[in-house]
Amino acid sequence: MGVRRRSRRLAAMITVAGLAFGAAACGSGSDSAGSGDPNTLEVWTRSNPDPAATYERVFAAFTRKTGIKIDYQPVINFDQQLQSRASTKDLPDVMINDTALMGSYQSQGLLKSIDPASIEGHDQITDKTWASTVGTDGEHYGIPYSRQAQTLMIRTDWLRKLGLRTPTTWAEMLSVAKAFAERDPDGDGRKDTYGMVVPGSAQNGYAAWWGASFLWSGGAKIIEKDGTGYRPAMDSAAAVRTVTWMKDNLFCGDNGVIQPGAISAITGTATNFQDGNAGMYLTGPYNIATYDATPGKDTYEVVPFPAGPAGSTVLADGENVYFGARTGKAKQEQALAAFLISPEGQRLAMTGKNQPVVRIPVNSTLDAAQVRDDPRWSVVQRAYEDASEQFPNAPDFAPIKQDTADALNAVFTYCGSDVGAGLKELNDTLAGDLKDQDLLK
C-alpha cells in the first residue's frame, strides 16, 4: 500500500510542477473573457445552478454599487478546469473555493499574496479566521468569505418515540444509534432503519473529512506544527484509541449502527438521513435547507457533536476569495473582496430563495441565527467559534487528506486489521508527504 501511495504522490508532484511552470507566466496578456476590459473581473466559483443563482445576485449588487462588471463562471469541475487554464498561462481574476485548497494553489504558484490591510473591512474579520489564510511563507493568500463547522443532525421525533434523550457523549450516541437500528423508530414493523449515516469512502478523502471530528474530539491530530515545519501525528496513543473505537463500534460493531455500504459511500450517495431511514448524520450546515424539505423541519434538530475523550471539537471548513496570479486589476479585485466580506455582501449571500453560499459569516458584526431568523444556526456558529479546528491549509493538504482517507478506509474495511500497525504505516506515508513539500521536521 505504501508503494501505491508513494507512486500517486510522485505523480501529483509532477503535475504540480508543471502547473507552477505554466502559472508563473500568467499575467496581463490573458485573452480570457472580459480580460480586455480593465473594469471587468472574471470570477469563478465551484457551484451547481442553485448556489450559482445566489452568486449571480451578489455580483449584480456589487456591479450596481461600483460599476465594476463581473464575468461570472460557475464551474463544477473546478480543479480540472483551473489546471487547464493554468497550463495556457491564463487564470481567472478571482476565485472562490475551499479553504483547504489554499496550500495546494499557493504551492503551484496560482495565487497572488494579499495584504489584509488592503481590503476595506478587513478588521471586521477575527484574527482566528484571518489566520487560516496564512501560507508556509507567512504571507496571506486568501480572504475569508464563508465558514462552517460540522454538527449532528438527529431525528428528534425518533428520540421522543423511543423515550431517549439527545446524546452528549460518544457512549450515549452509540446507544442511541443502536436503538434507532433495533427498536423500529419509524413504526413500520420492519427492521429497516439505521443509527447513523457515514460517508466512509476513500474517494476524494471522504473518510478523513468525516472522521476528522472524531479524531479532534478523541485528542488526535493528523499532522502537527513543529517549529517552521510539520510532523505526522497519526501514530499517537490518542489516534490509535480513537480509530480503534470507530472501527469496533461503528464499522465492525452491531449491524445497523451505520447504513449498509458506508465503507464505499460519499456524500452524494449517503442520502439515508434525507431518505428517512437513518437517525443521525454528522455533517455540514449546508444540508439544513435540504433536510427541512425531507425528512421535514419538524422531524429533526441540529445539535452539538457529542463529546469524546478530549471534548467536542469538530472539523471546520469554508471558502476563501483568491486572487489569480496575474496583474493589472488589483483595485477592482480588492473592491470585490471588500464587498463580499461587508455586512451587505454577506447578508445577500446568506439569504434568498436559492441555496446560501455563506454559511457562518466571516464578518464579525453579523450573527447567522439573526440574519436567517433561525436559532439552529447559533449551534453551528458556536461550534465554529468555540469548538472547531480546520485542516492545516498552509501545506498542500490534498495528498495528506487522501492518504489519511485511504488508511482509515482500509482499517474500517478489514475488521481484523491491526489499527496500530495501519496507523504507523500511515504516519510513515504522511512523513513522505511532508518531506515532498520540504516541510518535514
In a domain, 362, yes or no: yes
Residues 62-67 have a mean pLDDT of: 98
Same domain for 68 and 125? Answer: yes
Count of domains forming the chain: 2
Average pLDDT, integer, range 13-36: 42
Judgement on whether residues 287 and 351 belong to the same structural domain of the protein: no
Residues 136 and 164 in one domain: no
Query: Which carries the bigger pLDDT value, residue 75 or residue 18?
Result: 75
Question: Given pLDDT bands bounded at 50, 70 and 90, which one contains residue 256?
Answer: confident
Phi, psi angle pair for 35, to nearest 5°: -70, -25
C-alpha cell at 153: 443532525
Q: What is the pLDDT of residue 38?
A: 85
What are the E-state strand segments in 166-305?
A: 223-226, 229-232, 280-283, 300-303
pLDDT confidence of residue 23: 36
Let me know if residue 13 belongs to a domain.
Answer: no
The answer to whether position 178 is within a domain reads: yes
Report the chain's mean pLDDT, rounded to a whole number: 92
* Judgement on whether residues 327 and 191 belong to the same structural domain of the protein: no
For residue 34, being part of any structural domain is answered with no
Give the model confidence (pLDDT) of 107-128 as tens digits.
Answer: 999 999 999 999 999 999 999 9
Q: Model confidence over 371-405: pLDDT tens digits?
A: 999 999 999 999 999 999 999 989 999 999 999 99
CATH number, domain containing residue 229: 3.40.190.10
Q: Tell me which of 351, 370, 389 is where a domain ends.
A: 389
**85 and 72 housed in the same domain:** yes
Backbone angles phi, psi at 141, to 5 degrees: -125, 10
pLDDT (average), residues 247-255: 88
Regarding whether 167 and 77 lie in a shared domain, the answer is no
Residues 339 and 304 grouped into a single domain: no
pLDDT of residue 9 exceeding 90, the answer is no
Q: Is the pLDDT of residue 347 over 60?
A: yes
* Residues 336 and 383 reside in one and the same domain: yes
Region 85-93 average pLDDT: 91
Q: How many CA atoms lie within 13 A of 390 on its CB side?
A: 25
8 within domain boundaries: no
Cell 449571500 belongs to which residue? 349
In a domain, 267, yes or no: yes
6 within a domain of the structure (yes/no)? no
Contacts of 287 (CB under 8 A, 6+ apart): 153, 273, 274, 281
User: Cα 38 to chain center, whole Å?
Assistant: 33
Q: Please, what sign has the CA dihedral across residues 192, 193, 197, 198?
A: negative
Whole-angstrom Cα distance, residue 429 to residue 277? Answer: 38
Is the pLDDT reported for residue 34 higher than 60?
no
Strand 300-303 versus strand 151-155 pairing type = antiparallel
Are residues 186 and 51 both part of a single domain?
no
What phi and psi, each to the nearest 5 degrees, are found at residue 345? -65, -40
Residue-number span of the structural domain to which 58 is assigned: 40-149+317-389
Same domain (yes/no): 71, 144: yes
Q: Are 93 and 334 in contact (CB under 8 A)?
A: no
Mean pLDDT of 196-225: 97
Q: Is the pLDDT of residue 1 over 90?
A: no
For residue 24, tell me if it sits in a domain.
no
* DSSP 8-state assignment for residue 306: P
pLDDT band at residue 35, thresholds of 50, 70 and 90? low
